[in-house]
Chain A
């Protein structure tokens, strides 16, 4: 009744191909942006911003990156953690070499380094498909994490081997380091993530995105129709790693504050792949849902026994959490293999005809 496009006539091609052609969608997005920009900073505590919102946004960006590669182009990758690391280490290096540059520019620029790494490790995808490709991306994963430990130049030869955030100001406010308030960091992350989401959603429905999807659906047919696999696959690897790289550098500078190589290991790659699969392959919205699920779930599980007034031994709690996450992953795959985004789509379809589905 409320969610229906009846009576919304398009009189120009621009209006017809807008991102949100339906008025109700535009209202919904405006509401969400209002919540993100006004309600959450005003009402959210520092703890909430630090442990939920900032990681959620950062992981959503990384998930969008992997979704471009796995969901839209059909190339499975287990190297996203390492590409996040390339972004983080290159951003750290640049921030220490050029202390006067605006950190936000550096964070965005660090994506180009991981894009270059992604293009190199994406080259085998021209000959290799499916699970065989997983092995080559694991080669990237293990080689790069090894390099993060062995090449001391990357972490400025400090003893801990970790990269720490450097306090930096932008527009007169501390945006990273100990003095930066969570609200400021939240706003920086939010602006970057929204801008890059907008860019990605336009990219995937444009010419490049359509060539990615053609490669995914059937590469030989796409090639016969004039899509060049070299350009399509390598550009997918580049864009995907760019997004992961930016997410990685934001993770160090705006969330964790310092990171060791463990933050970029294969478990991180698995986690991002979970987000993409649970959220829905080939869906930007799904990347957000998957990231929310994976970020919120452990926090919620840890808070649950207290909520019900049960005390659980913390080490056991750790084990329960990981067991429940594993079981839930299997459960969701069985219930809806196309991810949370598909559930959302079904809900929207139902809503269109509600309350008279047979009329």
Chain B
């Protein structure tokens, strides 16, 4: 009886009796949800245009953030460092396209997936070699990100919203909006969607695959940079972020691999679900459930809807 009570009743009583705390938890969930969504966005971009599941997105986030911090510590103004970092991500995109994607065209998905894991190892080694293994402070205030927080009084308590978190949500919304525009309205965006649909057909109407891949890796590099800045503003930039980036997988599964809105909705569902479950139910299981909860949600969800919320229906042809 006690167990049933602590599973089915006590958490809801807690939620009702302390609405300010619940709101704070929801806000935390929203913030981590937007970050997951940003991470997932990088994955979706590359998956849409090349069918490659880019495992290296997580390390690209770390790499971009470390490059930015490293360039700034050389004495450059923050905005110059930012522009140079974008340049570095562009070079990385060109390199990946030239030395990996172009050589592996027409290979099975798993081979390309493994190649991105190889790229991950390479970037980890390179990043640690150049920037050292220690966590670094993100140059949030130099980049003009607001700090501090505003408080709301709810009931008897206070809900604290950090400006940095609000900025992260705004940046995420802007990125999603501009990427959506880019994909649906511009000529390159249409070419991207054509490549995603059918490589050969796209080639036959004169779309350069190599150019498209370079562009799409560059775009996801920029998304990685934005994610790195936002994440770094919340906590330090470290290589541990790379494992957290795996959380983007359940987000993708929920939203569907090919859908940009899906990445956002999936990210928010995972963010909210994870925080609420950890705070109100996690104690029953000894805590730390955040590490696997997202995956289990995704697993259960997949059993009912294998293509995700917004994914294209999977059709098997014989």
User: Which A residues fall within an 8 A CB radius of B?
Assistant: 70, 76, 124, 127-132, 134-136, 138-139, 142-143, 145-146, 149-150, 218, 220-221, 266, 270, 273-274, 277, 281, 316, 318-330, 333-334, 337
Contacts and interface: CB of A to CB of B under 8 A. Distances in A.
Interface in B273-308: 285-289, 291-292, 295-296, 298-299, 302-303, 306
A322 B124 contact: yes
A252 to B, nearest CB: 22
B192 interface: no
14 contacts: A76-B110, A127-B306, A138-B249, A150-B286, A220-B316, A273-B114, A323-B125, A326-B118, A326-B124, A326-B125, A329-B118, A330-B122, A333-B114, A333-B118
A113 B39 CA distance: 36
**Shortest Cβ-Cβ A-B pairs, 9 listed:** A326-B121, A323-B125, A326-B122, A329-B118, A139-B295, A322-B125, A142-B292, A319-B129, A330-B118
Contacts, number: 132
Contacts of A145: 291
Interface residues of chain A: helix, strand, loop or mixed (majority): helix
Interface residues on B, range: 35 or more
B115 interface: yes
Contacts of A327: 118, 122
B318 interface: yes
A266 B114 CA distance: 15
B46 interface: no
A324 B121 CA distance: 9
Given A138-B249, A277-B114, A333-B115, A316 B129 contact: yes
A134 B113 CA distance: 11
B121 A139 contact: no
A320 B125 contact: yes
Interface stretch (B66-74, B100-108, B150-158, B175-183): B100-108
A139 B289 CA distance: 12
Contacts of A138: 246, 249, 295
B296 A329 contact: no
A128 B302 contact: yes
A218 B317 CA distance: 10
B170 interface: no
B250 interface: yes
Contact of B125 (A135, A150, A274, A319): A319
Nearest to B133: A315
A127 B302 contact: yes
